[in-house]
């Protein structure tokens, strides 16, 4: 990704580092942009405060997070819980912690609270709805390997993965329509101003 960024923006300085502990001077930026990152931080509040440290007073933070999941696909979480018993307890706890971080940012009021806790003044939190259709069960399965759900699947044995997939293919039939398997994703785009005092 860094190499692609250097090619796309040859005049920009591209750095690789820990987004929650950046070796950069205080108040050195006008804007910080974070797209679907903050909920992957072990401590999102600390990460937001770090980004606040980097901004000049009046600087802008722009973040994107995921809103609530499509209720038509609630069977996914139920099915995952059914297979959690086949994992060691530490893995299950790690997965639960990850879900907990996601849910901290799933509603506009929650995002605003998180931003205020890190000395930002939210001035916009707006949902953006994305309607998507999986053409078939295999498209859904392949998609699962391209994002955070992969973490769950990788921790299942090969046998458990296959059983999970079979049960999922049956469960997902409830959402089938004439075009495939529709799913709505909601992204929350948020903008906030760095307050003068931290």
Q: Can you give the chain as a three-state secondary structure string?
A: CHHHHHHHCCCCCCCCCCCCCCCCCCCCEEEEEEECCHHHCCCHHHHHHHHHHHEEEEEEEEEEEECCCCHHHCHHHHHHHHHHCCCCHHHHHHHHHHHHHHHCCCCHHHHHHHHHHCCEEEEEEEEEEEEEEECCHHHHHHHHCCCCHHHHHHCCCHHHHHHHHHHHHHHHHHHCECCEEEEEEEEEEEEEEECCCC
Among 33, 93, 23, residue whose Cα is nearest residue 65 = 33
Q: What is the pLDDT of residue 148?
A: 80
Which residues of the chain, if any, have pLDDT below 70?
A: 197-198
**Sheet of strand 120-134: strand arrangement:** 29-35, 55-66, 181-194, 120-134
Q: What is the pLDDT of residue 25?
A: 96
State whether the Cα torsion 84-90-95-99 is positive or negative.
positive
Q: Which two tokens stand for residue 170?
A: 């049956």
Q: What is the pLDDT of residue 197?
A: 61
Q: What is the pLDDT of residue 91?
A: 80
Q: Distance between CA atoms of 178 and 155, rounded to whole angstroms? A: 34
Q: Which two tokens stand for residue 46?
A: 């600390």
> How many angstroms separate the first and last alpha carbons of the chain?
32
Residues 191 and 124 sit within 8 Å (Cβ to Cβ): yes
Among 177, 167, 75, residue whose Cα is nearest residue 136 = 177
Torsion of CA 43, 49, 52, 54, to 10 degrees: -80
Domains and their CATH numbers in the chain: 25-194 (3.40.50.150)
Number of Cβ atoms within 10 Å of the Cβ of 190:
24
């Amino acid at each position: 990704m860094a190499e692609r960024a250097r090619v796309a923006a040859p005049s920009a300085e591209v750095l690789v580092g820990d987004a929650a502990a950046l070796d950069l001077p205080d108040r050195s930026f006008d804007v910080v942009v974070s797209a679907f990152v903050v909920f992957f931080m072990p401590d999102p509040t600390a990460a937001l405060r770090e980004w606040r440290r980097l901004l000049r007073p009046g600087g802008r933070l722009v973040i994107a997070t995921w809103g609530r999941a499509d209720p038509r696909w609630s069977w996914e979480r139920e099915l995952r819980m059914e297979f959690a018993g086949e994992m060691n307890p530490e893995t299950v706890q790690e997965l639960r912690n990850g879900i907990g971080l996601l849910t901290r940012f799933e509603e506009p009021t929650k995002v605003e609270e998180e931003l205020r806790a890190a000395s930002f003044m939210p001035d916009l939190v707006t949902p953006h709805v994305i309607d998507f259709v999986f053409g078939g069960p295999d498209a859904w399965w392949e998609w699962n390997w391209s994002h955070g759900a992969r973490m769950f699947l990788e921790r299942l044995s090969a046998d458990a993965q296959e059983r999970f997939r079979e049960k999922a293919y049956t469960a997902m039939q409830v959402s089938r329509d004439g075009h495939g398997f529709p799913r709505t994703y909601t992204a929350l785009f948020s903008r906030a101003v760095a307050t003068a005092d931290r």
